[in-house]
Amino acid sequence: VTLLRYPMPTDAAVWHALNHYAYRDAVFLAERLYAEVHSEEALFLLATCYYRSGKAYKAYLLTGLSLSSGPMQPCVDVFYFFGLFFLEFSITSPHQC
């Protein structure tokens, strides 16, 4: 059993919205959660919401800023997102010389 730093109903509501393709609702709830809690779990959830709603660049900026701004040790999930972003941008972006 893992103890979360924020109430489980909020987490469940965000995942429920994501799983039912209500991306705007999920992003709204995740943004509010991250603004209040400011934890790695909330960061991962917000980045997931941005990524699934088609705002991968916003999720990339969010995770990139979190890595460089503070004493928090980044979790493995944030590095997973970096891999997804680099893969997606390398496929969709034209290469510049």
* pLDDT tens digits along 34-53: 999 888 888 888 988 998 99
Nearest in space to 70 (alpha carbons), one of 26, 93, 32, 40: 40
The set of residues, in sequence order, having a beta carbon less than 8 Å from that of 33 and lying 6+ positions away, is: 6, 10, 11, 14, 42, 45, 46
pLDDT over 90 (residue 28): yes
The domain limits of the chain are 9-92
Q: For residues 72 and 63, which has the higher predicted lDDT (pLDDT)?
A: 63
Tell me the C-alpha distance between 45 and 5, whole Å. 13
- Please, what is the average pLDDT of the chain? 75
Query: What is the token pair recorded at 81?
Result: 């997102």
Model pLDDT, residue 18: 92
Q: Which CATH class, in words, describes the domain spanning 9-92?
A: mainly alpha
